[in-house]
Amino acid sequence: MLEKIITLEDVSMVDFLGIHNSNIKEVAAAFPKSKIISRGNEIKIQGTAPEIMKISELLDSLMLHYQKYGKITNDQVKGLLNVQDRPHVKSADEDDDEVILYGNKGLTIKAKTDNQKKLVEAAGKFDLVFAVGPAGTGKTYTAVALAVKALKNKEVRKIIITRPAVEAGENLGFLPGDLKEKIDPYLRPIYDALDDMVAPEKLKLFLESRVIEIAPLAYMRGRTLNNAFIILDEAQNTTPMQMKMFLTRMGPSSKAMITGDMSQIDLPKNLKSGLVDSMKMLKGIKGISFVELDGTDVVRHRLVKDILAAYDKFEK
């Protein structure tokens, strides 16, 4: 009788094995000629070579499911066992072409509109992508999802997300706290997106080790950002000089996405928007893509589309 030991890493054993090891018992029941023992974070398989191979493949599928959804139910184990018995049947876990990323607690993050799909396609083909459109069209959320996917797939070593700290009807100087505490509220949408996409313990580790860096645009000056996925959010509030500074930070093996909303420029009236200028100047340069989203891409509450339409009508 042969033996194989599989070590599980970064796994909640209760969520993986099930309450009272019900999931692994289901697997063991399907292979009565083999012996499966779980102890700590190890699973020991004893049996013939063909059965050990089948059990290992099944555990690999369960691990893939766990990494995507964060939990495994007894029904899902039964479903995977049925798929293994009938290899021509497509598993529910096989990648959906439209899925960008599997987030926390079973959240599936995918492009929901045609323009969002264009944005995902552009990010796959171009190293620099501009995504412009009104609030609620998923620009930032999609950009962050693409960055996390690239990090997960080891296409980049780090994620850098930045925003210009421009006051929108509020005065930064009068906010309480140190600089970080003053700036963090401006970066809150970024943290919210990451909370959906990265497990809390891993996100904390990434932020502490600066694998994921979230900082005001001013902190980018003088840096060369290599092997990174860089996002400039709220780019309509950059000045032309800030935009030029950001665009020239890209190093080898880097990708950059610039998101902005032309209708929400909070700069003083005497300053031009760097986003508006750059989109005029850079059109036609090979390797740069421009994706425009509109009211049909709004994925917030159904009233947001009507509110945006009303504002557009009033302003016109």
Is 90 domain-assigned? no
CATH number of the domain bearing residue 72: 3.30.1370.10
pLDDT in tens, 271-299: 899 999 999 999 889 999 999 998 778 76
Question: In this structure, are 121 and 237 located in the same domain?
Answer: yes
Give the predicted TM-score (pTM) of the model. 0.67
pLDDT interval class at 172 (50, 70, 90): very low
Dist CA 39 CA 24 (whole Å) = 11
- The pLDDT of residue 232: 95
Q: Are residues 78 and 113 in the same domain?
A: no
Identify whether residues 135 and 50 lie together within a single domain: no
Cα dist from 147 to 238, 292, 299, whole Å: 21, 19, 20
Same domain, 67 and 178: no
Report if residue 91 sits inside a domain. no
Is the alpha carbon torsion for 128, 132, 137, 140 positive or negative? positive
Report yes or no: 196 and 109 within 8 Å, Cβ to Cβ: yes
Claim to verify: residue 110 and residue 233 sit in the same structural domain: yes
Q: How far apart, in whole angstroms, are the C-alpha atoms of residue 44 and residue 223? A: 49
- Residue 80 pLDDT > 50: yes
- Considering the domain architecture, whether residues 121 and 234 belong to the same structural domain is answered as yes
- Among residues 84, 76, 73, 75, the alpha carbon closest in space to that of 18 is found at 73
Please indicate, yes or no, whether residues 27 and 72 belong to a single structural domain of this protein: yes
Q: Is the pLDDT of residue 149 over 80?
A: yes
Residue 94 included in any domain: no
Strand order in the sheet with 228-232: 212-216, 158-163, 228-232, 255-260, 128-132, 288-292
Average pLDDT rounded to a whole number, residues 161-185 = 60
Averaged pLDDT for residues 131-149 = 91
Residue 259 confidence (pLDDT) above 90: yes
For residue range 54-71, list pLDDT tens digits in order.
888 888 888 877 776 677
Is residue 108 assigned to a domain? yes
Q: 27 and 55 in contact (C-beta within 8 Å)?
A: yes
Q: Do residues 78 and 115 both lie within one domain?
A: no
208 found inside a domain = yes
Which structural domain, as residue segments, surrounds residue 220? 99-315
174 has a pLDDT exceeding 60 = no
Q: How many domains, in total, are found in the chain?
A: 2
The amino acid present at 164, given as its one-letter code, is P
Residue that is last in its domain, among 85, 108, 138: 85
- 288/299 Cα distance (integer angstroms): 26
Distance in angstroms between the alpha carbons of the first and the last residue of the chain = 79
Mark whether 12 and 76 lie in a shared domain. Answer: yes
Domain termination site, one of 62, 85, 108? 85
Domain boundary among 85, 108, 137: 85
**Are 14 and 121 members of one domain?**
no
